A and B are shown apart, each in its own frame.
Chain A
């Protein structure tokens, strides 16, 4: 269902690093292991993304990280044309998608939609994760999406 790639979709942008309070380290460790992890409340079972120190549903501090099925559907999208960073100057348009994960209480994740940058994007289209393995300091893995 999922695949991985070593091709950098948007090379030259700042690489992600775990937050210095440790909150999201399990997420970035997960992407390296090609797992899509989100938080889940041990008390009420609610999934949560982005990560927080508390469950927003029941206010429990007992949160765990669980791997979820790395598929979803396109909730919204945009196609940037204007380069806002030097690394994007000669890149041309690209697509950012907001993907909803129905199997995880409809949390949403931001990523790029791979494939033709000028493709028609359909809200509701099923997508699956492409783990983008990148060299860096340290190496890191981004979560990208492609239409299933």
Chain B
């Protein structure tokens, strides 16, 4: 059952009914899902969760919607993998990877969209829509198709072609905006006021954001109901990072795990690192930037939840850090070569920040560390076109192959 009781302003605490609202009339603060936490914590057990489906909906008691099979593409419940090889490379003995590249549309966005789509149906909204850096567009389009709704996705026109195509195939109307993500987002915010559509990351945002908490629930359950010592996740708007933190807090409050709660590490790339910059300057006021990063899924120059991400970093004893742009592809290659997982640019950023901290001995080698891999590399192939690799060109016969191959293998004196 859902223990949702309404929406509440994060800044001033004003309460609102359950509806497609996202901003406080009083102070313009963000609205968040508000639950009867006492009733929920008395109700939910490890056993009640285990009875649920093997999707993120097994945690519906912590979500703002009932389980809605009509929108569930088997979202979430992705593998948590022990990373011996990458761990050896980085000097971390207990490293795990949460592999969200294998979600139905190949990114963690399926978690948030699944919840938002359920609310769109509940509110009887005529269409599903979003502003997107790409991954979200595909997920919205797919879930709208399953729910039988039309979809409209607002994207920067210069997005990777694979990301545009992987929204279009589901029948979405692609609105290609001549501008960056922040400008596409601004247009979508105005469109949300003009049309009655369910914009998952605008007027459905209080519900949508809750889906990211399942990344914490699953990791804890997969570790045998235990919190890791440290987690690392990419930071774009800061919503994912903030909600992972909230997810661990909720499990602790419900007595499903014991403390201490994980240190929260956030990862950005230098081409768009407003949150890491603010963290480094010990302020929570984010100065917006014009994104110039290869990691387009993280290229949000005006991050709505940046200040809350910084709060979570400080409170948990973690931090938010950036790596140079040339470390993005290096991180992708390191991950793929050591663990056989082809993550997208955001995963390259995450792995490279983890490497930077491990190299600096900022993480204890014996700590249990979980790195969140949030999207699939096939959508961002452009950035690895020039990755160093071994290639042998040969005629279709053994002699030619040997001629080309053997000089590389045997050192000729």
Q: Do A and B come from one complex?
A: no
